[in-house]
Amino acid sequence: MQLALPAGAFRAYLFDCDGTVVDSMPLHYIGWTQALSEWGARFDEETFYAWGGKPPKEIIAELNRLQGLAMPVEAVAERKEQLYFSLLPQLKAVPEVVAHIDAQYGRIPFAVVSGSNRESIVQSLTTVGLLDRFDLLVGHEDYARSKPAPDGFLLAAERLGVAPQECLVFEDTEMGIAAATAAGMASVRVPQPHERR
C-alpha cells in the first residue's frame, strides 16, 4: 500500500513518531496494559488508539479521573515506558512512511513531533536505524499544549525556519490530523496497524 501525498511543493516534512514512523502502537499497548493492570486500571484498545498522541501523564490522570483511581502519575508513566523499552527488539518501521523519508532525505528537512518524550523518540528511532534522518526532535516536554493543539507542529516549523503552510505532516491519529490542521498544515493520514494488514 502506498501513501498518497496532497499536491504541493512542501519545504519540510513533520512526522509523528509512534504509529507513523515506527509501528510501535501495539507494543505501547502491551506496556500500558501491563503497567495499568498493576493498579487495577482498565484501558481498552479502542480508547488507546483514540487517545493516540496524548502524553502518558495526561492519559494516567484522565484514567484516574474516569475510573476513580489514585495512580501515582509519574511512577506509572515511568513503569509503562520501561515496559515499552523492554519490547523494543520487536519494533519495526512503517515501510509506507520510510518510502517517503527515503525519497526526500537530504532535499528537505525532517522533524519528529511526538506526544512521547525525547528519550522514547530517540530509543524508537535508534532501534529502527532512522534517528540520523531527522534534523529536529520535538517531544512533549518541548511544548505546553498537547495534540489536538497545534503547538508542537508550530514549534517544529519555527525551529526549522519553514512557514507552517509549507510543511507536510504525517500522522496516524485523528488528534494528530486535527493538530496539523489547526497549525495550517497539510497532512497525510498513516493507516493504523489493523488497517494496514
The whole-angstrom separation of Cα 118 and Cα 26 is: 20
Helices (H), the chain: 25-37, 45-50, 56-67, 73-86, 95-104, 118-127, 151-160, 174-182, 193-196
Q: Which of 16, 18, 23, 151 is catalytic?
A: 16
Q: Has 142 been annotated as catalytic?
A: no
Q: Which candidate, 63, 60, 53, 91, places its Cα nearest to that of 75?
A: 60
Do residues 138 and 116 lie in contact, with contact meaning Cβ atoms separated by under 8 Å? no
The whole-angstrom separation of Cα 169 and Cα 162 is: 13
Helix (H, G, I), strand (E, B) or coil at 187: strand
Q: Which residue has the cell 502491551?
A: 30
Which DSSP category does 42 fall into? -
Environment class of 181 (CB within 10 Å of its CB; exposed 0-12, middle 13-18, buried 19+): middle
Indicate which residues carry an active-site annotation: 16
